[in-house]
Amino acid sequence: MEQNERRTGRLGLGLRATAAIAMALFLLCCAALGAVYLAGLSAGSHQAQPEPEPPPVLTGRVLEERLQAVQQLVSVEYFYTNMGSFENQKDFHGWKVPFTTKRFIVSYDGVIKAGVDLAQSKARVRGNTVTVTLPGAAILSHEIPEDSIQVFDESSNVFNPIRIQDYTGFTKEEKAAVEKRAVESGLLDTAGEKARTAVKAFLGLLPELEGYSLTVE
Q: What is the pLDDT of residue 98?
A: 74
Asked if residue 188 and residue 210 are part of one domain, the reply reads yes
Asked if residue 141 and residue 95 are part of one domain, the reply reads yes
Asked if residue 164 and residue 67 are part of one domain, the reply reads yes
Q: Which residues of the chain have pLDDT under 70?
A: 1-56
Spell 23-49 as b/e; 16+ CB within 10 A means b. eeeeeeeeeeeeeeeeeeeeeeeeeee
Q: What is the pLDDT of residue 81?
A: 96
Contact 102, 157 (CB under 8 A): yes
Q: What is the pLDDT of residue 88?
A: 78
Asked if residue 103 and residue 13 are part of one domain, the reply reads no
Q: What is the pLDDT of residue 186?
A: 97
Domain extent, residue 107, equals 60-216
Asked if residue 15 and residue 78 are part of one domain, the reply reads no
Counted domains in the chain = 2
What pLDDT digit, counting tens, does each position of 119-159 carry? 999 999 999 999 999 999 999 999 999 899 998 888 877 77
Q: What is the pLDDT of residue 1?
A: 44
Q: What is the pLDDT of residue 92?
A: 74
